[in-house]
A and B are shown apart, each in its own frame.
Chain A
Amino acid sequence: MTTSSTAPTKKKKKKQAKPTPGDKNIITAAEQTVEVVSDSGEGAQKCAQTFGRVSAMMGNGVWTVEIIPAEIQPPPRTPTSASGNRIRIGTKPVTNWGDAAHLVVAFNEQVLLQRHRAGALQRGCIILIESMWENHDDEDIRKEWADAMEEMDGHDYRFVKFPLEEQAATIVENPQRGKNMFALGVLANVYSRDLDIIKGLITKEFLRKGQEIVDANIALLELGLTWAEENIDFKIDVPVEKSDVPMVVMNGNQAIAVGGIASGMELCSMYPITPATSASHYLSEIFESYGGIIHQAEDEIAAIGVAIGASFAGKTAFTITSGPGLALKTEFIALAVMTEVPLVIVDVQRGGPSTGLPTKIEQGDLLAAIFGQPGDAPKVVMAPATMEECFLCMTAARRIAEAYRCPVIILSDANLATGVQPFPRPNIDRDWIASPLELSPVAEGQLPYDWDSQTGLSLRVIPGQQNGMFRATGLSHDEHSKIGYTPDVHERGCEMRARKMAVFQQTLQPPEVHGDEEGDLLVVGWGSTWGAIEEAVDRAREEGLSVSSLHLRFLSPMEPGLKEIFEKFTKVMTIEINYSDDPKAPFITDENRRRGQLSWLLRSQTLVDVDCWTRVPGQPLQPGQIHDAIRAHMPTGA
């Protein structure tokens, strides 16, 4: 390892003992967690995303998480300015962001400090850091550097200083805008990434800005590569087990967008809200050429209203929002339930309550989604666990919504939304594509709510169909859609709308237990925590702990057989990213404890004393944290 003790701030590079490839120390690892951080706007994200993408294209498992500052333009060279990505790559598929980073590329010591303080760096972490700050002309900067180094002392970090700006300046006039590609070159060398693929990605990215820009970026990349080849004496090899099936790589919001198109829904009506909006950006680019419309409404309420209007008229539509928007849509969701209009609502959850943590993850909308409406408003609530499931949820949701004439809420979250993961390329199924509108006349006397007395299901009649005319209403109504306030009309309407959910629940399979089907502890999760929970459970099982896990995709109605599964474990607990009281905190008793949202549901559903361990850090859970929680909650002690 070359650790340049003095930063080469002068134009002439300091002579160093140059390692030849044969000398290099090759570290082989089954997985690596890499972070690239810079000041906001310096391009760490582009560098890291390209690194993630090339890794996916080479066949590594990948999972990425964004590191984003809360402000649009935070002051540079401050910990709050840290912006970038974490990329976890592995030989096997990667299902979560991992624990602490093995290697970090930092464009200054202040953004690095933020990662250190966040506990994101593992002991012995390799840190590639811009060298220009250490001996900077500005005394204050030199002091900041020294203070930061002192603070980070004692963690066995291995610093590799590299002349990022100085090198980039040899190619571009403003090195601040090009150094990210130099850094990418260094990473590409350290991890032996396929250069042709990277060049292809750069070309694709920058071609619209002109060939000159493409050439400059490729020159920067190659410069970084050469620099690393000459100055860094190690390489890290994460072997590739290339999959035989064709793969795609996308983030959860892209999967929602492409899945939304594939679902056959031809209208998305939305209002901008973080972190859901990027799904609409992807849609805006492509939906129209396909024949779909994305309507940006004047507010969240109108957004769902337009979607319901289109669905009522026969074109099942969807809306995309986040927690605060879900709250605003509540009354319309109940209208869709009451009038039995099919509808898909995607809620990309963020931290709440109120404006909360707009860019950060939380699983706090579960109960609001299920119970948010006054009265009983039965609907389907489902939650994808991976990017692939984001895609598949969309195609399933339209068909569920239409078959059961009800709204379907999909609970994604900020972790899935911005994280990137490769998954097998979906085979477009002809059934996904919506058939042209069926406008032929219905039978004379056809009722708008011709409820089957057993199932509550009925034929969906749409405008344009002769003999089918009816007036949909949010008022309590009978099978003619005639307003009725009598006890029997209201009881029957509620019963029929609820019955459909029971029928749907009977079509679901019991969830599979990960690990043994009986034991000391069963961990239950939902949504994006799936990968981290299973990884933690696997580690605990390797230690000999009797722990298994279960992950729910359908939250309302729930998958069947839960009580039977739970009874085979001494203890059941949920792990979630939403708030629950620490049972040992002051004033907290078993009677007044606020619990994780899924645990609240499971307790009422199964009458099993389901415990919970939840956190609201605004970031994904790490397998290591979950592993610790499992140990702490083993009924037999661990």
Chain B
Amino acid sequence: MIQLGCSLLGSSVEEDRYWSMEDYEAAVPRWCSGCGDHAVLTAVQKLLEVKQLPPEETVFVSGIGCSSRFPHYIDSYGFHGLHGRALPLATGVKLRRKDLNVFAVMGDGDCTSIGAAHWIHTLRYNPNITALMLDNGVYGLTKNQTSPTSPLGVKSNTQPRGALLNPMNPIATTLGVQNASFVAQTGDWAPDHIYETIKAGFEHRGFSFIRILQRCPAYTDHLYLEAMRNPDSIEMLTHPNGINSEFTEEIYKNHVYHDPSDLVNAFRLAQVGEKIRLGLFYRNDDLPVYEEVRTVPTHAADEKIAILNAELDKYAV
């Protein structure tokens, strides 16, 4: 209660605070020009402005990789953690600080390779965190190694004759985890769609998993070339309860009407086909949220001492 009182007091004193997009800017991004990370950063900063999230009550947690530099470029609290381990850190923050807006930013190697266990289990815990997986199909920071999402045959320094295996399908994998509550895909060539997707994810109560398809200008610049050049290669998932980006839907004329509450159809649509599908695959607002499941009472110090003494009584001789 005391904690709540403090934060209420804080916001009432500063009622007239307003943050523009620029107010959320921190260090100048050191990403390559043409990197999709820039588009995601802009979309997020726009969301922060639209939602007027107090910077001190917002935390960006990331792993390691190009995209995990993300927190450094937003003037909020941030935790640039370990390779693959953004989600445990983010879960820890949310578990004891429900009052904070928590975002997790990961790359494809981060999320689907070294951090795969945390990815699967955080989907299951379903904390109210917005998770962005910036997927460019390559390890860029470490200079071009094959990632689990590298398309078959794409050459890298570790698989110079081309990726040996079919890529992992992160959307299908995610949908297979019980308790997954928000699963969406967007692409760096559709900025409005990125924004609308992250916004929907942020507004969703529960763990929002958003895969952002990107190319790496240094190592996988060919990846979504076709998507950028040929609108016919894209298929939009549309539904009143889905991602609403009219602008994007006008450009990309292939639409599939998909009710995001239909898990079976979501799984079918998640299978890789000729066209790249963007939109909301699945959403379930009724799933238990971990930090709410773990709600515990708040006691004053005297009550705590009384509980402790009662506990010691059990061991008294």
A interface residue numbers (CB < 8 A to B): 53, 56-57, 246-250, 254, 258, 261-262, 266-267, 269, 286, 288-293, 295, 297-299, 301-315, 317, 331-332, 335, 339, 422, 425-426, 428, 430, 433, 436-437, 439-441, 463-475, 482-483
Contacts and interface: CB of A to CB of B under 8 A. Distances in A.
Contacts of B90: 309
A199 to B, nearest CB: 16
A248 B310 CA distance: 12
Given A291-B299, A301-B88, A309-B95, A248 B317 contact: yes
Contact of B315 (A250, A308, A312): A250
Contacts of A290: 296, 299, 304, 307-308
Contact of A267 (B59, B92, B99, B100): B92
Given A248-B315, A467-B56, A474-B80, 16 more contacts: A286-B311, A291-B299, A295-B95, A301-B88, A302-B85, A302-B88, A302-B117, A304-B88, A305-B89, A308-B88, A312-B89, A335-B82, A463-B100, A464-B57, A464-B97, A473-B80
A288 B312 contact: no
A471 B6 contact: no
A315 B96 contact: yes
A261 B311 contact: yes
Contact of A306 (B55, B56, B91, B316): B91
18 contacts: A254-B315, A267-B92, A267-B95, A290-B304, A293-B296, A297-B88, A298-B120, A302-B117, A305-B81, A309-B95, A312-B89, A313-B93, A313-B97, A313-B100, A439-B6, A464-B97, A470-B77, A472-B80
Interface string B7-44: 10010001000000000001100000000000000000
The 10 tightest CB contacts between A and B, nearest first, are A309-B92, A305-B88, A471-B78, A298-B121, A306-B92, A309-B89, A315-B96, A248-B315, A473-B80, A57-B317
B76 to A, nearest CB: 6
Contacts of A317: 92, 96
A56 B316 CA distance: 10
B294 A428 contact: no
A315 B317 CA distance: 33
Contacts of A286: 311
B93 A463 contact: yes
Given A267-B92, A425-B312, A53 B76 contact: no
B305 interface: yes
Nearest to B61: A309
Nearest to A303: B88
A289 B10 contact: no
A295 B124 CA distance: 14
A317 B96 CA distance: 10
A422 B316 CA distance: 9
B298 interface: yes
B72 interface: yes
A302 B121 contact: yes
A289 B307 contact: yes
Most chain A C-beta atoms within 10 Å of own C-beta, residue among B7, B10, B56, B59: B56
A249 B311 CA distance: 12
B93 A433 contact: no
B240 interface: no
Nearest to B7: A439
A433 B88 contact: no
Nearest to A62: B317
Contact of B82 (A258, A331, A463, A467): A331
A439 B96 contact: no
Contacts of B92: 267, 269, 305-313, 317
B95 A302 contact: no
B79 A312 contact: yes
A437 B299 CA distance: 13
B46 interface: no
B240 to A, nearest CB: 35
Nearest to A264: B304
Contacts of B57: 463-464
Contacts of B99: 464
A441 B304 contact: no
A309 B100 contact: no
B52 interface: no
Contact of A426 (B27, B64, B75, B312): B312
B10 to A, nearest CB: 7
Given A293-B296, A302-B121, A463-B77, A310 B304 contact: no
Contact of B26 (A297, A425, A471, A474): A471
Nearest to A448: B77
A310 B304 CA distance: 20
A430 B75 contact: no
A473 B72 contact: yes
Interface residues of B, number: 60
Contacts of A433: 301, 304-305
Contacts of B206: none
A440 B6 contact: yes
Contacts of A472: 78-80
Contacts of A440: 6, 10
A258 B10 contact: no
Contacts of B120: 298
Given A258-B312, A428-B308, A301 B100 contact: no
Contacts of A430: 301, 305
B118 interface: yes
A463 B294 contact: no
A315 B59 CA distance: 15
Contacts of A422: 317
Contacts of B3: 436-437, 439
Interface in B144-184: none
Nearest to B26: A471
B297 interface: yes
A528 to B, nearest CB: 19
A310 B95 contact: yes
A306 B78 CA distance: 15
A286 B298 CA distance: 14
B100 A288 contact: no
A301 B86 CA distance: 11
Contact of A309 (B79, B307, B309, B316): B79
B71 interface: yes
A306 B93 CA distance: 7
B239 to A, nearest CB: 33
A471 B55 CA distance: 12
Interface string B48-63: 0000001111011100
Nearest to B74: A471
Most chain A C-beta atoms within 10 Å of own C-beta, residue among B2, B82, B96, B307: B96
Contacts of A315: 96-97
Given A289-B297, A302-B118, A463 B72 contact: no
A254 B315 CA distance: 9
Contact of B78 (A56, A258, A269, A470): A470
A437 B305 contact: no
Most chain A C-beta atoms within 10 Å of own C-beta, residue among B7, B91, B298: B91
B59 A258 contact: no
Contacts of A426: 312
A60 to B, nearest CB: 10
A429 to B, nearest CB: 9
Contact of A463 (B56, B309, B312): B56
Contacts of B117: 298-299, 302
Contacts of B14: 466
A339 B79 contact: yes
B316 A246 contact: yes
Contacts of A299: 117
A259 B54 CA distance: 37
Nearest to A258: B311
A302 B72 CA distance: 23
Contacts of B301: 430, 433
A426 B3 CA distance: 28
B299 A314 contact: no
A246 to B, nearest CB: 6
A248 B95 CA distance: 33
A454 to B, nearest CB: 28
